[in-house]
Structure formats: structure tokens, C-alpha cells
Amino acid sequence: MAIAESIVRIAGQHANGRRVTKIYLKVGHLRQVVPSALTFGFEIVAQGTPVDGAELELDQIPASGKCRACGTESQLPGFPLQCQQCGGFDLEITKGEELYVESLEMEE
């Protein structure tokens, strides 16, 4: 619910009184956001706001990391997060922690 509230607040601030019809989100895999739960919470929180009835479009970003041991950067398909080249666990996460409103569609 906290994420849904933040999305409604951010979209409402940028709408400047216009009705928001669609919200595009970037969501990293490591954020473990459940799309159906987010959509459900969003619909409840958005009621009576300029965002009421808007569609959420989630773009899920897969996790990636750079191995500090061998220098390989690769996608990290699941837990445990492990280098796909050498099997090491000392990784710098480069993608997959994103969570932000990328853009909005609004009525004129």
C-alpha cells in the first residue's frame, strides 16, 4: 500500500489538476513488487484523486550485477545472486533495484 500511495502522490503532483489516464513504472526484479497486489492497492488509494481510473503499466527490469572477482557483468536470474561466469557471490548490483514513475499520460 505504501508504494501505491507514493505512486498516487507523485502522479497527482505532476498532473497539475489534469486527470491521469496511464502511469508507466520501472520496477526492478529485486524490489519483489507483486503486480496484482500493487494494482489492487493502487485502485483503492487512487479513488477520488486525479489518478482515479488510471492504468498502471509496469516495466520489470531484470537483476544484473558485476562480479568483483572476475569482472563479468551478467543477468542474475534468481536467488542466490551469483556470478554466471565464476560462481562468485561478491557482486555489485547494477540493475534490478529500480522503482520509479517513468512517465504519465494525461487528458488535455
pLDDT of residue 81: 92
- Local mean pLDDT, 10-residue blocks, the chain (108 residues): 93 91 95 91 94 94 96 92 94 95 92
pLDDT of residue 98: 94
Provide the 10 A C-beta neighbour count for residue 18. Answer: 12
Domain ranges of the chain: 2-106
Nearest to 107 by CA among 45, 13, 17: 17
Domain 2-106 has CATH 3.30.2320.80: yes
pLDDT of residue 22: 97
pLDDT of residue 100: 94
